[in-house]
């Protein structure tokens, strides 16, 4: 295996560990359409890994494979040294993989606080009967988790909208609440599907800061899809480039920037 080197330290002083997640020869088809074709790559402990590519390249499908929503026809998913069997999405979440969505998928009928609290669901264990009595363990658990959630809310600076129904929030704040919900799960791996789509420069700067801080403070490994190249090049440690369901590049931002296949894919060359 090529990735047997253990941890190393980046220029800005963060420690990148060994391989956390490895995708091996993933192929995903919908009927006759091949969305992902024989793609392999890995994500290392503590790194920020970007997946880029033109529209329709299969990036979101790849994220859906990682979060267990789509099941590839071929290939293996390895997570923390073990091969992951075909798994329902909610069990994947229990393994410590959280995500945000390209088109915001918040629970519109609930308040911001409740939305973020749903991020803690995988950690809460009291049964129905204990909960229905709202006494002792159930109450204690609720408040312990509330404390963690409040910290995340502080971290993302959304205290003031805590009790607001999510449906009433503007787009940028919704994106932030969604990140809060994902972070509340204290995930080992955080998947971000276009976290900055449709944002203005200021909002993008805020979001970048939150992503970097989350990676730094909580040590969360992050895989993100993003179209804004400036952001990708600034944030990520390594980049996978996809085009038409195939991998055409993989490496540090510097390497990818100089990769001829990537330049062709983005600028377009005559296909023969």
107 binds other proteins (CB under 8 A): yes
Q: CA geometry: angle at 47 spanning 191 and 9, to 5°?
A: 170
Buried b (16+ CB within 10 A) or exposed e, 184-198: bbbbbbbbbbbbbbe
Q: Of the two residues 103 and 200, which places its CB atom closer to other proteins in the complex?
A: 103
90 binds other proteins (CB under 8 A): yes
The full DSSP string for 233-248 is HHH-SEEEEEETTEEE
Q: How far is the CB of 193 from other proteins (least distance, A)?
A: 8
Report how many residues bind other proteins under the rule CB under 8 A: 45
Question: x/- string (CB under 8 A) for other proteins, residues 3-32?
Answer: ---------------------------x--
Task: Quote the DSSP letter at residue 14.
Answer: P
Q: Of the two residues 138 and 242, which places its CB atom closer to other proteins in the complex?
A: 138
218 binds other proteins (CB under 8 A): no
164 binds other proteins (CB under 8 A): no
Q: How far is the CB of 261 from other proteins (least distance, A)?
A: 28
146 binds other proteins (CB under 8 A): yes
67 binds other proteins (CB under 8 A): yes
197 binds other proteins (CB under 8 A): no
User: Across-strand partners of 111?
Assistant: 165
CB-side neighbour CA atoms (13 Å) of 150: 6
Choices 71-79, 181-189, 245-253, 256-264 (CB under 8 A): range interacting with other proteins: 181-189
- CA dist 42 and 247 (Å) reads 12
**Backbone φ and ψ of 43, nearest 5°:** -125, 130
User: Across-strand partners of 188?
Assistant: none
- CA dist 29 and 243 (Å) reads 15
Residues engaged in binding other proteins (CB under 8 A):
30, 64, 67-69, 88-90, 92-94, 98-99, 101-103, 105-110, 114, 117-119, 121-122, 124, 126, 128, 131-134, 138-139, 141-143, 146-147, 181-182, 185
């Amino acid at each position: 295996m090529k990735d047997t080197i253990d941890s190393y330290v980046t220029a800005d002083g963060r420690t990148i560990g060994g391989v956390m997640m490895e995708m091996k020869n993933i192929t995903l088809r919908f009927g006759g359409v091949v969305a992902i074709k024989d793609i392999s790559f890995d994500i290392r402990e503590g790194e920020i890994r970007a997946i880029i590519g033109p529209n329709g390249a299969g990036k979101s499908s790849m994220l859906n494979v990682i979060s267990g929503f789509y099941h590839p026809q071929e290939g293996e998913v390895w997570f923390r040294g073990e091969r992951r069997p075909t798994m329902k999405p909610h069990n994947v979440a229990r393994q410590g993989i959280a995500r945000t969505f390209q088109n915001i998928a918040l629970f519109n009928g609930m308040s911001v606080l409740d939305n973020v609290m749903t991020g803690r669901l995988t950690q809460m264990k009291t049964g129905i009967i204990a909960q229905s009595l709202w006494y002792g363990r159930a109450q204690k658990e609720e408040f312990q988790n509330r404390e963690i959630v409040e910290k995340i809310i502080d971290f993302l600076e959304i205290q003031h909208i805590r009790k607001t129904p999510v449906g009433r929030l503007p787009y940028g704040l919704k994106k932030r609440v969604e990140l809060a919900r994902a972070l509340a799960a204290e995930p080992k791996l955080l998947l971000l599907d276009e976290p900055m789509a449709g944002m203005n420069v200021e909002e993008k700067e805020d979001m970048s800061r939150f992503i970097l801080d989350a990676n730094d403070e909580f040590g969360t490994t992050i895989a993100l899809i993003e179209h804004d190249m400036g952001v990708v090049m600034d944030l990520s440690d390594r980049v996978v480039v996809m085009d038409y369901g195939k991998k055409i590049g993989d490496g540090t931002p510097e390497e990818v920037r100089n990769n001829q296949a990537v330049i062709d894919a983005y600028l377009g060359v005559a296909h023969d």
